[in-house]
Structure 1
Amino acid sequence: MRPLWGWYVVMLFLAVIGYFRTPDTWVQTIVYDSIAVSGVIAMVVGVIRNRAAAARLWIMFAGCQLLVVGGDFTYAWYARHLNQSPYPAPADGFYLAAGVLEVLVLVRILRRRLPARDAAGVIEAVILTGSFALIAWVYLMKPVAQDTELTTAGKLVAIGYPVIDLLLLTLLARMLVGGGARNGAFRLLALGMTSYLAADYAWAFTDHFEFEAGTFTSHLMDAGYLIAFGLYGAAGLHPGIRDLAEPVEITDRRFSRWRLGLLTTATMIAPALLIEQAWFADNHVADAQAIAAGCVGMFLLVVARMTVLIRQVERQASVLESQAEELTELAQRDTLTGLANRRAWEQALPLALDHARRDGNLLALAVLDLDHFKRFNDQYGHQAGDRLLKEAAAAWAGGLRSDDLLARYGGEEFALIIPNGGATLAGELLDRLRPLTPHGQTFSAGVAVWDGQESSEMLFARADAALYEAKGAGRNRVALAA
């Protein structure tokens, strides 16, 4: 079943299509304003029905659209009823007030949605807006500022429209490049703002280039506004409006292709304007200073964005390096006892032999095995057996020197490297460890002293054979390999 907001979108587009068939009379004005007011009502009803976060801000946003409708009706009243076209007109007050209030409301919503600092998002939004600001200055603001026929009030009104559009464009860009989930309400709101700005710029450039818009063209631009009003209402009816103003977590975003393409296009607008003016004005660039400032500004913003990106890469590399170290540490640690595991032992023993060979020092290797561990397990259970292994490992490790390496070789068997020590030191060390064994248990051990030539496998085999001698001699003792 189609949701309510979906039905509203369908009815909206049918109404907009019907608007194209209205005559240029009060009928057209009534149909236009009715569609726009329906969007206002839909947003208010949807915000209340969905219990949206920051509901008052969304209702204020809908109120801004109602002010625009008031401006449309006022404009029609002067044009149709009074047959007057004053400039500045009272309708301009409605339009400009609505634009300023809409900017303030969206700023508050975005501050709620994006409370954390996001240098990358801000820079990208400024890059996108800066390119349009240059276009607006060259084609919309500068001609107005140089027009000698306009009054000061007329100039302020004429410049106010593109300034407000630039502010709205900045907020739209900030929404699009910001973090957080892009649910249905987000998309409807963003599409609505895009449609509104497209219609506004279409009217502005039509006036600038003195293009005589026919009935269909003017209806088409009006449709942009109507679609914007309707999409705002659909966003309010969408359940996603409930979370749209909730704070989102800013994370390091992937620099996607569409983002790169959009920013590249924005930075190329200033050079494109330079080429356009030089091409059509016989190498005379009328707006050279503005274009040069735009090029410098874009260059500095791109450098700033690259700096943020490099820091992001460095931060991610540091995290990956830390994670790699943690994984390496985990791969070489026995999960139960926390001692070095067999893999770490097999890497450490050849290195210890190389050091002993190079320095000419003695090195002893011991293999320890808990006595009657299977019987302990059968009597007290496997959990008690695991505790015995863990506590024994901790007790023995506490009695070792800093250079000694104790590892869990497997099961209840442990291996110990004793550098800078011969048979006597190894025997004394193991005799100190045997009373430390918890729960009244004992261990047997075999010790082999490296002869300076044999491999690590041969050395371990001799110590292991000595362990079996200790076991055969009655356990709870240390045996020295031949």
Structure 2
Amino acid sequence: MDGSRAWRVFLLGGLVALGVYVLLPYGPFRDAFYASVGLSGAAASFLVAARLRGTVGLAWALMGLGLVGTATGDLMWLYYDHIAGVDPFPSPADIAYLLQYPFVTAALLLLARHRRTPGDRGALLDSAIVTAGLLLPYWVLLIDPNIGGHESTFDQLVALAYPLADVVLLAGLVRLLSVSGARTPSFRLLTLAMISLLTGDVIFISTEGAEVFGLPLGDTPFLMSYVLWGTAALHPSAQDLLSTSSDGVPFFTTRRLLTLMAVVLLAPGTMAAQLVSGFELSAWPVTITSAVLFVLVVARMSDLLHRLQDQARMLDEVARTDTLTGLPNRRTLDAQLAREYARAERDGTPLCLAMVDLDRFKLFNDTHGHQAGDLLLTGAATAWSLVLGGQDMLARYGGEEFVLVMPGREPADAEALLAAMRAATPQEQTFSAGLALWDGRERPSDLLHRADLALYAAKEAGRDRVVRASGSRPGPPSRART
């Protein structure tokens, strides 16, 4: 059958089987029918595991093993109930039932591990907060009432194993939901199967397997989980469980915030519900859960603060840096010039500035293309930076123009540095430069203007040279340079 139709047929057949089961009379046929639905989900999981292999295939195989475990327990219980006529507890059937949880949890954690990204600490903390918060009602409603009243320690451990296994499975599901990754139809169906399974466990433990209105309604969540499991396995998107989301790791969505808030409020909510209803207060469980949640929430806030600080630093770096060459941009140049002016005036040291322009850059772009032009700019910026001293700063001024600030250098020393830069220019290209020495009075804009005029003179003199600016301040050049 075509894969695009198989999952629809399985889902429809499963829903029909669910209705048939509810109407069947109590007896071995109904229990065998129940076990067959679980085995069909296992068969679908093994089928997709054999087809996909790899990590996704392993995850489906683990889930299939979990379903085999619970179906084996169902068949064993059929024998105890309808053939042997006994009601043993604990029994080997309990071992088979409990085997489902480690297999399925391992599959969920395997998927979570391969779906997560390096910046996943926040998601890990979120899953820890949700798990810790949900553990409290599990303790109050399911675990604490099952403590005591058993004939032996072993009986007690088996009775507690079921709600504790639910907590472990819940932790695996929450971890999977907290990491990034595409929410494919198969992923959503698998999530619903886990929720249905956990719901069935809660109902079964709470009612001790009793029928409701004479119908086995408590079994329907388990059957629904098997149907959803098989449907998820047969859906064409089952192979995409490790697909990444275009949104990446969610930073902190409103839905996530509301979920965490609701979970954190479970502790005081549990205490309030017990006070209103007159039940015995679970003081220690609420106190311990509240303390754990407080620590986890503070850790989450700290993680958010660090992420905000990192992003602020990145934004500041982007604002100060030329995106193409990685050099300081014009904004950074203006700030650095102001600092160097103050230092030169205070210490009485020289301050030289050079305007550098790649020769015939437009012709290079027209001949080799704009990508080659970008590579020339980035290569020149890297090569020139390697010959600079510790206090020198090279900034991109715009286009193919750069400004070199050289605090503490005399003009002769500055010319020697520019000569070294000319020798390092890549792709056998050349540049012209105008060099100006601060006269101790002029503004930064005037110093830049004098260097710019000297650069224009270097272009007019034949390019591939350095020209010193005069002390005078003539007007701007009358034509463009290349």
Q: TM-score, normalised by structure 2?
A: 0.72
Partner of 1:234: 231
Greater CA deviation, 229-238 or 398-407? Answer: 398-407
Are the aligned partners of 2:134 and 2:266 in contact in 1 as well (CA < 8 Å)? no
Are the aligned partners of 2:43 and 2:64 in contact in 1 as well (CA < 8 Å)? no
- 1:77 deviates by 0.6
Partner of 1:315: 306
Partner of 1:141: 146
- 1:17 deviates by 1.9
Are the aligned partners of 2:35 and 2:71 in contact in 1 as well (CA < 8 Å)? no
Tell me the SS of whatever aligns to 1:20. Answer: helix
What are the superposed Cα offsets for residues 374-420 of structure 1, whole Å, 9 maximum, x if unpaired?
49958x96689999988988888777765555556567766555556
Separation in structure 1 between the aligned mates of residue 357 and residue 155 of structure 2, nearest angstrom: 96
Partner of 1:213: 212
Are the aligned partners of 1:53 and 1:244 in contact in 2 as well (CA < 8 Å)? no
Establish whether residue 185 from structure 1 lines up as the match of residue 183 from structure 2.
Answer: no
Which residue identity is paired with 1:133?
W
Separation in structure 2 between the aligned mates of residue 231 and residue 446 of structure 1, nearest angstrom: 75
- 1:178 deviates by 4.8
Are the aligned partners of 2:42 and 2:65 in contact in 1 as well (CA < 8 Å)? no
* 1:387-406 equivalent positions in 2, closer than 5 A: 403=391, 405=393
Partner of 2:415: 430
Greater CA deviation, 396-405 or 188-197? Answer: 396-405
* 1:8-407 equivalent positions in 2, closer than 5 A: 8-51=10-53, 53-54=57-58, 56-78=61-83, 84=85, 86-88=86-88, 93-115=91-113, 119-120=124-125, 121-138=127-144, 140-142=145-147, 145-146=148-149, 158-178=159-179, 180-207=181-208, 213-215=212-214, 218-242=215-239, 244=241, 253-281=250-278, 286=280, 288=281, 291-331=282-322, 335=325, 342-359=330-347, 363=351, 373-374=359-360, 403=391, 405=393
Greater CA deviation, 346-355 or 405-414? Answer: 405-414
Separation in structure 1 between the aligned mates of residue 297 and residue 274 of structure 2, nearest angstrom: 30
Separation in structure 1 between the aligned mates of residue 82 and residue 451 of structure 2, nearest angstrom: 105
- 1:347 deviates by 4.4
What are the superposed Cα offsets for residues 89-126 of structure 1, whole Å, 9 maximum, x if unpaired?
5xx52541123211221243245334589652345323
Are the aligned partners of 1:113 and 1:244 in contact in 2 as well (CA < 8 Å)? yes
Separation in structure 1 between the aligned mates of residue 290 and residue 404 of structure 2, nearest angstrom: 62
What are the superposed Cα offsets for residues 412-457 of structure 1, whole Å, 9 maximum, x if unpaired?
7665555567xxx4257437755874479785746465252x4334
Which residue identity is paired with 1:68?
G
Are the aligned partners of 1:40 and 1:65 in contact in 2 as well (CA < 8 Å)? no
What are the superposed Cα offsets for residues 253-277 of structure 1, whole Å, 9 maximum, x if unpaired?
5444444444444454554454454
> CA separation of 1:449/1:214 partners in 2, compared to 1, >3 Å: closer, same or farther?
closer
Separation in structure 1 between the aligned mates of residue 168 and residue 383 of structure 2, nearest angstrom: 69
Separation in structure 1 between the aligned mates of residue 379 and residue 263 of structure 2, nearest angstrom: 65
Are the aligned partners of 1:199 and 1:221 in contact in 2 as well (CA < 8 Å)? yes
Which residue identity is paired with 2:297?
M
Are the aligned partners of 1:103 and 1:168 in contact in 2 as well (CA < 8 Å)? yes
Separation in structure 1 between the aligned mates of residue 361 and residue 256 of structure 2, nearest angstrom: 67
Which residue identity is paired with 2:107?
I
Partner of 2:480: none
Greater CA deviation, 443-452 or 17-26? Answer: 443-452
Partner of 1:481: 471
What are the superposed Cα offsets for residues 114-145 of structure 1, whole Å, 9 maximum, x if unpaired?
4589652345323323431222134x314xx2
Which residue identity is paired with 1:213?
V
Percent of aligned pairs sharing the same letter:
27
Alpha-carbon RMSD: 4.6
Are the aligned partners of 1:404 and 1:418 in contact in 2 as well (CA < 8 Å)? yes
- 1:309 deviates by 1.0
Tell me the SS of whatever aligns to 1:480. Answer: coil
> CA separation of 1:295/1:349 partners in 2, compared to 1, >3 Å: closer, same or farther?
same
Greater CA deviation, 465-474 or 94-103? Answer: 465-474
- 1:63 deviates by 1.5
Bigger Rg, which one: 1
Separation in structure 2 between the aligned mates of residue 242 and residue 305 of structure 1, nearest angstrom: 34
* 1:434-449 equivalent positions in 2, closer than 5 A: 437-438=422-423, 445=434, 447=436, 449=438
Separation in structure 1 between the aligned mates of residue 95 and residue 449 of structure 2, nearest angstrom: 90
Are the aligned partners of 2:142 and 2:206 in contact in 1 as well (CA < 8 Å)? no
> CA separation of 1:271/1:310 partners in 2, compared to 1, >3 Å: closer, same or farther?
closer
Separation in structure 2 between the aligned mates of residue 342 and residue 443 of structure 1, nearest angstrom: 20
- 1:302 deviates by 0.9
Segments of structure 2 that go 5 or more residues without pairing to the other structure are: 473-482
- 1:301 deviates by 2.0
Segments of structure 1 that go 5 or more residues without pairing to the other structure are: none
Separation in structure 2 between the aligned mates of residue 153 and residue 429 of structure 1, nearest angstrom: 86
> CA separation of 1:245/1:313 partners in 2, compared to 1, >3 Å: closer, same or farther?
closer
